[in-house]
Amino acid sequence: MTPIDYFATLVKLDDDNDSIPLTEAALSIAQDVYPKLDLAAVQSELDRLSSILKARLPADAPAVQRLRALNRYFFRELGFSGNRNDYYDPDNSYLNRVLERRRGIPISLAVLYMELGQQIGLPLRGISFPGHFLVKLKVRAGDIFLDPYSGLSLSREQLEERLAQFFDARGLDVPTDLALIPSIQEASSRDILMRMLRNLKSVYHDRKDFDRLLEVQNRLVVLLPEVSTERRDRGLIYAQLECPRAALEDLDFYLTEAPDAAEAPEIRETISVLRNALNRLN
């Protein structure tokens, strides 16, 4: 089974109840760059780390006690932190490398943090906060929001401040009720994988590394088969890689799905160029 086939078997599981195995699927993304990666060995290491923490906690430890213990263990003892020196290093998105180097970006750190937390009985959830992924724990007193990049908990006022900065930068009005803001809703496993892949997509696009970009885009097409723009983007990548036949298949599909899209005239022009190129090859 190829890495993309394996990824497909994981993400095609019914996710109505969020049954996609997040850590395994997120880890498998690294197989494109690290083809000899032993997924089972990495999962065993995560199990080992969680078992150390679990052994320190009383069986009846309340959620807040478990959370404090996890924070100390993850950030202080294990030394996980954000990679502030090279934020856009692709390795910050590959869980095997984040585990080895103890450095990552908010979403990759969050996946590992949630994995360890869930193994000690904490029902942690990811939050697709704009610009900076967060983690949430629901307790009797309310929701606790955590920044996986720093390990700090965030008050409602701090959340509002971050949102205000995000909306202000885009010239948008800030909603007055946090409950109405979709960006602080819980993220499904599919949402998290999508955000991880789109982070990598942005990194490789900026580097003009079209071979790596294609690998990432293939996974996005598998993960989001109903999103026609992902097929469009893959077609454009194929065009950059001078693969006209594959590019035409994706771009024709996109125009069938979205014939009136704003960029449709540009896509049709690209298709014309590709067909001429293909005719010359024939």
Does residue 233 carry a pLDDT above 80? yes
Residues 6+ apart with CB under 8 A from 235: 246, 247, 248, 249, 250, 251, 253, 254
Choice between 48 and 162, residue whose per-residue pLDDT is larger:
48
Q: Residues 6 or more apart from 74 whose CB is under 8 A from it?
A: 80, 112, 113, 116, 151
pLDDT at 180 over 70: no
pLDDT at 57: 97
Arithmetic mean of pLDDT, 63-89: 96
Q: What CATH fold (topology level) applies to the domain 3-184?
A: C8orf32 fold (3.10.620)
The whole-chain average pLDDT of the chain stands at: 92
Mean pLDDT confidence for 130-159: 89
User: pTM of the prediction?
Assistant: 0.92
Q: Say if 3-184 and 189-281 have the same CATH topology.
A: no
Cα(232)–Cα(255) distance, integer angstroms: 8
How would you classify the pairing of strands 81-82 and 103-104?
A: parallel
Q: DSSP assignment, residue 88?
A: T
Q: What percent of the chain has pLDDT over 90?
A: 78
Q: Reduced to 3 states, what is the DSSP secondary structure of residue 256?
A: helix
- ∠ CA 38-118-191, nearest 5°, is 75
CATH hierarchy code of domain 189-281: 1.25.40.10
Domain boundaries, the chain: 3-184, 189-281
Strands 125-127 and 134-139: antiparallel
* Position with higher pLDDT, 166 vs 74: 74
Q: pLDDT at position 182, please?
A: 56
Tell me the angle at which helices 106-119 and 189-207 cross, rounded to the nearest 10 degrees: 150
Q: Is the dihedral of CA 169, 175, 179, 182 positive or negative?
A: negative
The pLDDT, as a whole number, for residue 177 is 60
The pLDDT score that the predictor gives to residue 185 is 79
| Predicted pLDDT at 156 | 81
Model confidence band, residue 248 (pLDDT cutoffs 50, 70, 90): very high
Q: Where are the beta strands (DSSP E) in the chain?
A: 81-82, 103-104, 125-127, 134-139, 142-146, 153-154
pLDDT above 70 for 203: yes
The model's pLDDT over 116-125, given as tens digits with 9 standing for 90+, comes to: 999 999 999 9
How much is the pLDDT for 171?
76
